[in-house]
């Protein structure tokens, strides 16, 4: 819409997470895509008045973090993986916490685990939830949109849109890719880069079927959900020198994490996140109801006189047939070895997989997807 012509909105990935030695940094420079940094240190914490009575004016995230570390230490001693929720209940049952402490811990878990990894606490693996590496440096956004990278990479390539793949027939002699419009593409090799959610759904048939280790990896890994809700206003009525706003409130994880685009991009836009089961519940609501809920949180943070947005854009990633979720997470019973099994090329090198779910080191990130693609090509060429 015209309201957004001056600010391309990234409905999926938006950041380069850690610019130092990150392959995306060089790619952004090649594509001449400008970036701006945001910082988790540039943040304000807001407290719902319902909590003021509990004396909750300074939630101590160090305490909450220590709780998670205790839970993980408990899980490490077991011979079988547990969910983060199960581990937390074992070391520090919610029923035994004061309302003050529970609010504090739930807020921390919603932001740092459910939204970070896009999975619910009762499905995130206590053993492997945060088994990933990071690049140093800033987190940066693209004022001109992440699409600049895809457009740059697409130069000189033949890309067929509107071809929904239904069947991949593969053997040592080559592959046929059959689409729902009847088109068939033949080749020596194929690299499958569809999201894990699509693989889980069985929307694409593989003939012969995938070997057990691959099928098991697809089954075991979790497909997460993180949704974005962009609210655009005539002008900012919130502090313009801060990137992140957090709201501690009675239903944690619902409208508790916000990014302001005024500092980074100079635009009167607030982005509210919902993740995991909360996101699933919000997806079922209509846009008007979602905006009403989101605005209740905005007014708790910035005052009741905050006007309604002039435009909104939001995602429902679990309902998108070409994604069926946002990105993968390490679910209870899965391990980084499942990601390696998913990425391993098959018979005679005819079939390989790539994408963030194939990255054991950097799952859930664009750089993980990019590196896994390079790996897949290298393996097929070998």
- Tell me what pLDDT residue 8 has: 87
Q: Quick check: 278 pLDDT over 50?
A: yes
pLDDT of residue 370: 97
What residue ranges define each of the domains in the chain, with the CATH number in brackets?
Answer: 1-382 (3.50.50.60)
Facing residues of 335 across strands?
A: none
pLDDT, tens digit (0-9, with 9 covering 90-100), for 42-96: 999 998 888 777 666 566 688 999 999 999 999 999 999 999 999 999 999 999 9
Output the pLDDT for position 1: 47
Give strand pairing partners of 331: 124
3-state secondary structure the chain: CHHHCCCCCCCCCCEEECCCCCHHHHHHHHCCCCCEEECCCCEEEEECHHHHCCCCCCCCHHHHHHHHHHHHHHHHCCCCCCEHHHHHHHHCCHHHCCHHHHHHHHHHHHHHHHHHHCCCCCCEECCCCCCCCCCCCCEEECCCCCHHHHHHHHCCCCCCCCCCEEEEEEECCEEEEEECCCCEEEECCEEECCCHHHHHHCCCEEECCCCHHHHHHHHHCEECCEEEEEEECCCCCCCCCCCEEEEECCCCCCCCEEEECHHHHCCCEEEEEEEHHHHHHHHCCCHHHHHHHHHHHHHHHHCCCCCCCCEEEECCHHHCCCCCCCCEECECCCCHHHHHHHHCCCHHHCEEECCHHHCCCCCCCHHHHHHHHHHHHHHHHC
Give me the pLDDT at residue 169, please.
Answer: 96
Q: Which pLDDT belongs to residue 2?
A: 57
Mean pLDDT, rounded, of the chain: 94
Mean pLDDT calculated for residue range 6-29: 94
pLDDT band, residue 4 (cuts 50/70/90): confident
């Amino acid at each position: 819409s015209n309201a957004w012509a001056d600010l391309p909105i990234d409905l999926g990935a938006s950041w380069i997470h850690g610019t130092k030695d990150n392959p995306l940094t060089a790619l952004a420079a090649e594509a001449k895509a400008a970036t701006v940094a945001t910082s988790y240190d540039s943040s304000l914490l807001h407290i719902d008045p319902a909590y003021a009575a509990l004396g909750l004016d300074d939630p101590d995230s160090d305490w909450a973090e220590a709780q998670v570390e205790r839970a993980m230490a408990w899980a490490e001693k077991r011979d079988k993986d547990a969910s983060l929720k199960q581990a937390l209940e074992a070391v520090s049952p919610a029923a035994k916490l004061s309302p003050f402490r529970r609010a504090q811990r739930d807020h921390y878990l919603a932001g740092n685990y459910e939204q970070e990894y896009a999975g619910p606490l009762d499905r995130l693996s206590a053993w492997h939830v945060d088994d990933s590496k990071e690049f140093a440096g800033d987190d940066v956004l693209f004022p001109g949109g992440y699409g600049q990278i895809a457009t740059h990479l697409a130069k000189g390539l033949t890309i067929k849109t509107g071809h929904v793949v239904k069947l991949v027939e593969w053997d040592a002699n080559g592959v046929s890719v059959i689409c729902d419009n009847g088109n068939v593409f033949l080749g020596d090799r194929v690299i499958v880069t569809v999201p894990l959610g699509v693989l889980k759904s069985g929307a694409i048939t593989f003939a012969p079927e995938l070997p057990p280790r691959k099928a098991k990896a697809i089954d075991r890994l979790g497909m997460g959900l993180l949704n974005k809700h962009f609210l655009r206003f005539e002008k900012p009525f919130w502090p313009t020198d801060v990137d992140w706003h957090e709201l501690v409130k009675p239903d944690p994880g619902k409208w508790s994490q916000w990014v302001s685009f005024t500092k980074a991009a100079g635009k009167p836009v607030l982005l509210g996140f919902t993740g995991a089961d909360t996101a699933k519940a919000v997806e079922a609501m209509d846009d008007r109801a979602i905006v009403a809920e989101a605005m209740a949180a905005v007014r708790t943070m910035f005052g009741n006189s905050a006007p309604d947005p002039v435009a909104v854009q939001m995602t429902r990633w679990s309902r998108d047939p070409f994604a069926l979720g946002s990105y993968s997470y390490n679910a209870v019973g899965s391990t980084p070895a499942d990601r390696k099994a998913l990425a391993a090329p098959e018979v005679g090198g005819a079939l390989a997989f790539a994408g963030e779910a194939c990255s054991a080191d950097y799952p859930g990130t664009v750089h993980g997807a990019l590196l896994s693609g390079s790996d897949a090509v290298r393996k097929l060429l070998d």
